[in-house]
Amino acid sequence: MTAMRAMVLERPRTALVPRERPVPAPGPDELMIAVSACGVCRTDLHVVDGELEHPKLPIVPGHEIVGRVAAIGQGVSGFSVGERVGVPWLGATCGVCPYCREGAENLCDAPVFTGYTRDGGFATYTVADARYCFPLGEGGDDAGIAPWLCAGLIGWRSLRLAGDGKIVGLYGFGAAAHILAQVLKWQGRRTFAFTRKGDTRAQEFARSLGAEWAGASDDLPPELLDAAIIFVPVGALVPAALKAVKKGGRVVCGGIHMSDIPSFPYSILWEERQVRSVANLTREDAREFLALAPQAGVKCAVTCYPLDKANEALADLRQGRLEGAAVLIP
Ligand SMILES: [Zn+2]
Ligand SMILES: [Zn+2]
Protein backbone atom coordinates (compact mmCIF):
# COMPACT_ATOMS: atom_id res chain seq x y z
CA MET A 1 0.00 0.00 0.00
CA THR A 2 2.39 2.67 -1.19
CA ALA A 3 0.66 4.01 -4.27
CA MET A 4 -2.91 5.10 -4.83
CA ARG A 5 -4.90 5.95 -7.92
CA ALA A 6 -6.80 9.21 -8.23
CA MET A 7 -8.80 11.07 -10.87
CA VAL A 8 -7.41 14.57 -10.81
CA LEU A 9 -8.66 17.94 -12.10
CA GLU A 10 -5.56 19.89 -13.12
CA ARG A 11 -7.35 22.86 -14.70
CA PRO A 12 -11.06 23.79 -14.72
CA ARG A 13 -12.92 22.95 -17.92
CA THR A 14 -10.60 20.04 -18.72
CA ALA A 15 -11.19 16.33 -18.26
CA LEU A 16 -10.05 14.59 -15.09
CA VAL A 17 -6.82 12.67 -15.59
CA PRO A 18 -5.81 9.41 -13.90
CA ARG A 19 -2.76 9.81 -11.69
CA GLU A 20 -0.74 7.58 -9.43
CA ARG A 21 0.27 9.18 -6.16
CA PRO A 22 1.86 8.09 -2.89
CA VAL A 23 -0.76 7.07 -0.35
CA PRO A 24 -1.18 10.05 1.99
CA ALA A 25 -0.33 9.51 5.66
CA PRO A 26 -2.90 10.82 8.14
CA GLY A 27 -1.78 13.98 9.96
CA PRO A 28 -2.89 14.90 13.47
CA ASP A 29 -6.69 14.62 13.87
CA GLU A 30 -6.98 12.88 10.50
CA LEU A 31 -8.13 9.50 9.25
CA MET A 32 -6.64 7.78 6.26
CA ILE A 33 -9.48 6.03 4.49
CA ALA A 34 -9.59 3.30 1.85
CA VAL A 35 -12.41 4.53 -0.39
CA SER A 36 -15.03 1.90 -1.23
CA ALA A 37 -17.49 4.19 -3.05
CA CYS A 38 -17.76 7.88 -3.87
CA GLY A 39 -20.88 9.52 -5.19
CA VAL A 40 -20.78 12.06 -8.01
CA CYS A 41 -22.61 15.26 -7.12
CA ARG A 42 -23.66 18.24 -9.22
CA THR A 43 -21.21 20.32 -7.18
CA ASP A 44 -18.39 18.19 -8.65
CA LEU A 45 -19.62 19.35 -12.05
CA HIS A 46 -19.52 22.98 -10.92
CA VAL A 47 -15.91 22.49 -9.74
CA VAL A 48 -14.87 20.79 -12.98
CA ASP A 49 -16.70 23.41 -15.07
CA GLY A 50 -14.97 26.29 -13.26
CA GLU A 51 -18.22 27.67 -11.82
CA LEU A 52 -16.84 27.68 -8.27
CA GLU A 53 -13.96 30.03 -7.63
CA HIS A 54 -10.53 29.19 -6.28
CA PRO A 55 -10.50 25.41 -6.06
CA LYS A 56 -7.27 23.90 -4.80
CA LEU A 57 -5.50 22.79 -7.99
CA PRO A 58 -4.78 20.12 -8.84
CA ILE A 59 -7.79 18.74 -6.96
CA VAL A 60 -9.25 15.28 -6.49
CA PRO A 61 -13.05 15.89 -6.56
CA GLY A 62 -15.61 13.83 -4.70
CA HIS A 63 -17.40 14.53 -1.41
CA GLU A 64 -19.79 11.62 -0.99
CA ILE A 65 -17.18 9.22 0.35
CA VAL A 66 -17.83 5.84 1.91
CA GLY A 67 -14.73 3.96 2.98
CA ARG A 68 -12.93 2.08 5.72
CA VAL A 69 -10.47 3.54 8.17
CA ALA A 70 -7.00 2.38 7.09
CA ALA A 71 -4.84 4.43 9.47
CA ILE A 72 -5.50 6.80 12.34
CA GLY A 73 -3.63 10.07 12.99
CA GLN A 74 -2.44 11.42 16.29
CA GLY A 75 -5.08 12.71 18.63
CA VAL A 76 -8.04 10.98 16.95
CA SER A 77 -10.47 9.20 19.24
CA GLY A 78 -13.66 7.31 18.58
CA PHE A 79 -12.64 5.52 15.36
CA SER A 80 -11.04 2.12 14.82
CA VAL A 81 -9.14 0.64 11.89
CA GLY A 82 -11.53 -1.18 9.53
CA GLU A 83 -14.55 0.81 10.64
CA ARG A 84 -16.85 2.08 7.87
CA VAL A 85 -17.02 5.86 7.76
CA GLY A 86 -18.47 8.63 5.59
CA VAL A 87 -16.86 11.90 4.54
CA PRO A 88 -19.14 14.76 3.46
CA TRP A 89 -18.64 18.13 1.73
CA LEU A 90 -17.90 19.99 4.97
CA GLY A 91 -14.26 19.04 5.48
CA ALA A 92 -13.42 21.32 8.40
CA THR A 93 -14.38 24.63 10.00
CA CYS A 94 -12.41 27.16 12.04
CA GLY A 95 -14.42 26.79 15.24
CA VAL A 96 -13.78 30.40 16.28
CA CYS A 97 -15.58 32.68 13.80
CA PRO A 98 -18.97 34.16 14.80
CA TYR A 99 -20.83 31.61 12.63
CA CYS A 100 -19.04 28.62 14.15
CA ARG A 101 -19.70 29.95 17.62
CA GLU A 102 -23.40 30.41 16.90
CA GLY A 103 -23.91 26.85 15.67
CA ALA A 104 -23.91 27.90 12.01
CA GLU A 105 -20.68 26.18 11.04
CA ASN A 106 -22.12 25.72 7.52
CA LEU A 107 -21.42 29.45 7.09
CA CYS A 108 -17.89 29.34 8.60
CA ASP A 109 -15.59 32.18 7.48
CA ALA A 110 -12.67 29.79 6.91
CA PRO A 111 -14.12 26.44 5.88
CA VAL A 112 -12.48 23.50 4.14
CA PHE A 113 -14.54 21.61 1.57
CA THR A 114 -13.90 18.04 0.53
CA GLY A 115 -13.12 17.66 -3.15
CA TYR A 116 -12.89 21.45 -3.61
CA THR A 117 -10.35 22.95 -1.23
CA ARG A 118 -8.96 19.62 -0.05
CA ASP A 119 -8.63 16.37 -1.97
CA GLY A 120 -11.72 14.19 -2.02
CA GLY A 121 -12.84 10.71 -2.89
CA PHE A 122 -12.33 10.14 -6.61
CA ALA A 123 -9.38 7.99 -5.50
CA THR A 124 -8.51 4.69 -3.89
CA TYR A 125 -7.43 6.45 -0.67
CA THR A 126 -8.11 9.79 0.95
CA VAL A 127 -7.39 11.56 4.22
CA ALA A 128 -10.02 13.54 6.09
CA ASP A 129 -10.32 15.45 9.35
CA ALA A 130 -11.78 12.86 11.71
CA ARG A 131 -13.90 15.46 13.49
CA TYR A 132 -15.94 15.86 10.29
CA CYS A 133 -16.22 12.13 9.49
CA PHE A 134 -19.18 9.98 10.48
CA PRO A 135 -19.40 6.34 11.50
CA LEU A 136 -21.77 4.58 9.07
CA GLY A 137 -22.27 1.21 10.74
CA GLU A 138 -22.71 -1.85 8.53
CA GLY A 139 -26.26 -1.42 7.22
CA GLY A 140 -26.64 -0.92 3.47
CA ASP A 141 -24.09 -1.41 0.73
CA ASP A 142 -21.33 1.14 0.15
CA ALA A 143 -22.53 2.40 -3.24
CA GLY A 144 -26.14 2.66 -2.11
CA ILE A 145 -25.38 4.91 0.84
CA ALA A 146 -22.68 7.09 -0.78
CA PRO A 147 -25.31 9.58 -2.08
CA TRP A 148 -26.49 10.06 1.49
CA LEU A 149 -23.27 12.00 2.18
CA CYS A 150 -24.29 15.02 0.10
CA ALA A 151 -27.54 14.54 -1.78
CA GLY A 152 -28.99 13.21 1.47
CA LEU A 153 -27.45 15.71 3.86
CA ILE A 154 -28.01 18.83 1.78
CA GLY A 155 -31.45 17.53 0.82
CA TRP A 156 -32.26 17.10 4.49
CA ARG A 157 -31.05 20.58 5.38
CA SER A 158 -33.11 21.98 2.49
CA LEU A 159 -36.19 20.13 3.71
CA ARG A 160 -35.72 21.42 7.26
CA LEU A 161 -35.52 24.97 5.95
CA ALA A 162 -38.59 24.36 3.80
CA GLY A 163 -40.60 23.89 7.01
CA ASP A 164 -43.22 21.38 8.07
CA GLY A 165 -45.83 22.05 5.38
CA LYS A 166 -47.86 19.14 4.07
CA ILE A 167 -47.23 19.57 0.33
CA VAL A 168 -43.65 19.88 -0.86
CA GLY A 169 -42.63 20.46 -4.46
CA LEU A 170 -39.28 19.12 -5.65
CA TYR A 171 -37.82 20.81 -8.73
CA GLY A 172 -35.35 18.53 -10.50
CA PHE A 173 -35.72 14.84 -9.72
CA GLY A 174 -32.08 13.78 -9.33
CA ALA A 175 -30.13 12.29 -6.46
CA ALA A 176 -31.30 14.65 -3.71
CA ALA A 177 -34.97 14.68 -4.73
CA HIS A 178 -35.16 10.90 -5.07
CA ILE A 179 -33.95 10.62 -1.47
CA LEU A 180 -36.26 13.36 -0.17
CA ALA A 181 -39.32 11.84 -1.85
CA GLN A 182 -38.73 8.73 0.26
CA VAL A 183 -38.25 10.78 3.43
CA LEU A 184 -41.42 12.80 2.73
CA LYS A 185 -43.44 9.65 2.18
CA TRP A 186 -42.13 8.22 5.45
CA GLN A 187 -43.10 11.46 7.19
CA GLY A 188 -46.61 11.20 5.78
CA ARG A 189 -46.24 14.30 3.64
CA ARG A 190 -47.17 14.80 -0.02
CA THR A 191 -44.61 15.22 -2.82
CA PHE A 192 -45.16 16.93 -6.15
CA ALA A 193 -42.24 16.44 -8.55
CA PHE A 194 -41.23 18.86 -11.28
CA THR A 195 -38.93 17.80 -14.10
CA ARG A 196 -37.83 19.01 -17.51
CA LYS A 197 -40.76 19.27 -19.89
CA GLY A 198 -41.40 15.93 -21.57
CA ASP A 199 -39.07 13.95 -19.28
CA THR A 200 -41.66 11.26 -18.74
CA ARG A 201 -39.03 8.82 -17.50
CA ALA A 202 -38.06 11.09 -14.59
CA GLN A 203 -41.74 11.75 -13.88
CA GLU A 204 -42.44 8.02 -13.80
CA PHE A 205 -39.40 7.52 -11.53
CA ALA A 206 -40.74 10.22 -9.16
CA ARG A 207 -44.17 8.56 -9.02
CA SER A 208 -42.52 5.19 -8.33
CA LEU A 209 -40.92 6.76 -5.23
CA GLY A 210 -44.17 8.11 -3.87
CA ALA A 211 -44.67 11.43 -5.65
CA GLU A 212 -48.40 12.03 -5.87
CA TRP A 213 -48.08 14.18 -8.99
CA ALA A 214 -45.26 14.72 -11.46
CA GLY A 215 -45.15 17.27 -14.26
CA ALA A 216 -43.07 19.87 -16.07
CA SER A 217 -41.28 22.59 -14.13
CA ASP A 218 -43.41 25.34 -15.62
CA ASP A 219 -46.68 23.52 -14.93
CA LEU A 220 -48.86 24.64 -12.07
CA PRO A 221 -49.44 21.72 -9.69
CA PRO A 222 -53.01 20.52 -8.97
CA GLU A 223 -52.81 22.15 -5.53
CA LEU A 224 -50.57 24.99 -4.41
CA LEU A 225 -47.44 23.96 -2.50
CA ASP A 226 -46.52 24.76 1.09
CA ALA A 227 -42.88 24.79 0.04
CA ALA A 228 -40.71 24.15 -2.98
CA ILE A 229 -37.11 22.98 -3.09
CA ILE A 230 -35.09 23.63 -6.25
CA PHE A 231 -32.24 21.21 -6.90
CA VAL A 232 -31.35 22.18 -10.46
CA PRO A 233 -29.08 25.15 -11.20
CA VAL A 234 -31.68 27.01 -13.25
CA GLY A 235 -32.55 30.48 -11.97
CA ALA A 236 -35.75 30.65 -14.03
CA LEU A 237 -37.21 28.06 -11.67
CA VAL A 238 -37.28 30.56 -8.80
CA PRO A 239 -40.19 32.60 -10.22
CA ALA A 240 -41.78 29.37 -11.50
CA ALA A 241 -41.71 27.93 -7.96
CA LEU A 242 -42.93 31.19 -6.41
CA LYS A 243 -46.03 30.94 -8.60
CA ALA A 244 -46.61 27.40 -7.34
CA VAL A 245 -46.41 28.08 -3.58
CA LYS A 246 -49.31 29.29 -1.50
CA LYS A 247 -49.37 32.40 0.72
CA GLY A 248 -46.54 32.27 3.26
CA GLY A 249 -44.89 29.51 1.24
CA ARG A 250 -41.17 29.01 0.95
CA VAL A 251 -38.91 28.47 -2.02
CA VAL A 252 -35.59 26.91 -1.03
CA CYS A 253 -32.66 26.80 -3.45
CA GLY A 254 -30.62 23.71 -2.61
CA GLY A 255 -27.68 24.12 -4.98
CA ILE A 256 -24.35 25.90 -4.64
CA HIS A 257 -24.58 27.55 -8.06
CA MET A 258 -27.46 28.76 -10.22
CA SER A 259 -27.89 30.69 -13.45
CA ASP A 260 -29.22 34.23 -13.06
CA ILE A 261 -32.73 34.57 -11.73
CA PRO A 262 -34.89 36.49 -14.21
CA SER A 263 -36.76 39.52 -12.90
CA PHE A 264 -40.28 38.80 -11.76
CA PRO A 265 -43.32 40.77 -10.60
CA TYR A 266 -43.47 41.54 -6.90
CA SER A 267 -46.94 40.03 -6.80
CA ILE A 268 -45.56 36.47 -6.86
CA LEU A 269 -43.39 37.18 -3.78
CA TRP A 270 -46.10 39.19 -2.02
CA GLU A 271 -48.13 37.63 0.80
CA GLU A 272 -45.08 36.62 2.77
CA ARG A 273 -43.68 34.10 0.36
CA GLN A 274 -39.96 33.58 0.97
CA VAL A 275 -36.96 32.68 -1.14
CA ARG A 276 -33.81 31.41 0.51
CA SER A 277 -30.68 29.47 -0.30
CA VAL A 278 -29.07 26.57 1.52
CA ALA A 279 -25.33 26.65 2.03
CA ASN A 280 -23.34 23.53 2.90
CA LEU A 281 -24.26 21.50 5.98
CA THR A 282 -23.57 21.33 9.67
CA ARG A 283 -22.44 18.20 11.46
CA GLU A 284 -25.77 18.29 13.27
CA ASP A 285 -27.57 18.00 9.90
CA ALA A 286 -25.40 14.97 9.14
CA ARG A 287 -26.05 13.25 12.46
CA GLU A 288 -29.80 13.80 12.09
CA PHE A 289 -30.00 12.54 8.53
CA LEU A 290 -27.69 9.54 9.00
CA ALA A 291 -29.87 8.43 11.92
CA LEU A 292 -33.13 9.03 10.05
CA ALA A 293 -32.30 7.58 6.64
CA PRO A 294 -32.18 3.92 7.74
CA GLN A 295 -35.41 4.37 9.74
CA ALA A 296 -37.08 5.88 6.71
CA GLY A 297 -35.78 2.98 4.65
CA VAL A 298 -34.11 5.30 2.13
CA LYS A 299 -32.83 3.28 -0.82
CA CYS A 300 -30.79 5.03 -3.48
CA ALA A 301 -31.02 4.18 -7.15
CA VAL A 302 -27.38 4.22 -8.26
CA THR A 303 -25.45 3.77 -11.46
CA CYS A 304 -21.93 2.56 -10.66
CA TYR A 305 -18.82 3.39 -12.69
CA PRO A 306 -15.25 2.26 -12.17
CA LEU A 307 -13.00 5.06 -10.90
CA ASP A 308 -11.29 5.58 -14.25
CA LYS A 309 -14.69 6.25 -15.85
CA ALA A 310 -15.20 9.38 -13.71
CA ASN A 311 -15.41 11.60 -16.79
CA GLU A 312 -18.19 9.44 -18.23
CA ALA A 313 -20.06 9.64 -14.92
CA LEU A 314 -19.76 13.44 -14.92
CA ALA A 315 -20.93 13.61 -18.54
CA ASP A 316 -23.96 11.40 -17.82
CA LEU A 317 -24.87 13.59 -14.84
CA ARG A 318 -24.48 16.75 -16.91
CA GLN A 319 -26.72 15.36 -19.66
CA GLY A 320 -29.35 14.11 -17.21
CA ARG A 321 -28.89 10.56 -18.48
CA LEU A 322 -29.04 9.11 -14.97
CA GLU A 323 -31.86 7.93 -12.79
CA GLY A 324 -30.94 8.59 -9.17
CA ALA A 325 -27.21 8.97 -8.45
CA ALA A 326 -23.86 8.19 -10.06
CA VAL A 327 -21.29 6.44 -7.87
CA LEU A 328 -17.62 5.69 -8.55
CA ILE A 329 -16.19 2.41 -7.33
CA PRO A 330 -12.39 2.47 -7.05
ZN1 LIG B 1 -15.71 29.29 11.44
ZN1 LIG C 1 -22.55 17.60 -3.21
The DSSP element (H or E) to which 207 belongs, if any, is helix 200-208
Q: Residue 109 CA: which ligand is closest?
A: 1
Q: What is the pLDDT of residues 204-230, one digit of tens each?
A: 999 999 999 999 999 999 999 999 999
Confidence grade of residue 135 (pLDDT, cut at 50, 70, 90): very high
Q: What is the pLDDT of residues 41-58, one digit of tens each?
A: 999 999 999 999 999 999
Give the pLDDT of residue 32: 98
Give the Å distance between the CA of 89 and the centre of ligand 2. Answer: 6
Give the Å distance between the CA of 62 and the centre of ligand 2. Answer: 8
Give the Å distance between the CA of 41 and the centre of ligand 2. Answer: 5
Q: Residue 107 CA: which ligand is closest?
A: 1
Give the Å distance between the CA of 103 and the centre of ligand 1. Answer: 10
Give the pLDDT of residue 174: 93
Read off the pTM: 0.96
Give the Å distance between the CA of 222 and the centre of ligand 2. Answer: 31
Q: Is the pLDDT at 2 greater than 90, yes or no?
A: no
Could you give the CA distance from residue 144 to residue 38 in angstroms, rounded to a whole number?
10
Give the pLDDT of residue 320: 87
Q: What is the pLDDT of residues 183-202, one digit of tens each?
A: 999 999 999 999 999 999 99
Concatenated DSSP letters of 95-137 = S-SHHHHTT-GGG-SS-EEBTTTB--SSBSEEEEEGGG-EE--
* Percentage of the chain modeled with pLDDT above 90: 97
Give the pLDDT of residue 316: 96
Q: Residue 96 CA: which ligand is closest?
A: 1
Residue among 288, 289, 307 at smallest CA distance from 298: 289
Cα 115 to Cα 57, 152, 154, distances in angstroms: 10, 17, 16
C-beta separation of 39 from 313 below 8 A: no
Give the pLDDT of residue 258: 95
Q: Residue 111 CA: which ligand is closest?
A: 1
* Percentage of the chain modeled with pLDDT above 70: 100
Residue among 139, 186, 143 at smallest CA distance from 324: 143
Give the pLDDT of residue 1: 61
End-to-end Cα, the chain, rounded Å: 14
Give the pLDDT of residue 248: 98
Q: Mean pLDDT score of the chain, rounded to an integer? A: 97
Q: Is the pLDDT at 293 greater than 80, yes or no?
A: yes
Q: Are strands 190-195 and 213-216 parallel, antiparallel or unpaired?
A: parallel
Per the DSSP assignment, residues forming a β-bridge with 304 are: 327
Give the pLDDT of residue 22: 94
Angle (nearest 5°) at CA 193 between 301 and 167? 115
Per the DSSP assignment, residues forming a β-bridge with 21 are: 4
Query: Mean pLDDT, to the nearest integer, of 63-83?
Result: 98
Give the pLDDT of residue 211: 97
Q: Are strands 112-113 and 30-40 parallel, antiparallel or unpaired?
A: unpaired
Q: Which residues surround ligand 2, an ion (CB under 5 A)?
A: 41, 43, 150
Query: Mean pLDDT, to the nearest integer, of 5-28?
Result: 97
Q: What is the pLDDT of residues 259-288, one digit of tens each?
A: 999 999 999 999 999 999 999 999 999 999
Could you give the CA distance from residue 308 to residue 5 in angstroms, rounded to a whole number?
9
Q: What is the pLDDT of residues 145-188, one digit of tens each?
A: 999 999 999 999 999 999 999 999 999 999 999 999 999 999 99
Give the pLDDT of residue 138: 96
Give the Å distance between the CA of 173 and the centre of ligand 2. Answer: 15
Give the Å distance between the CA of 37 and the centre of ligand 2. Answer: 14
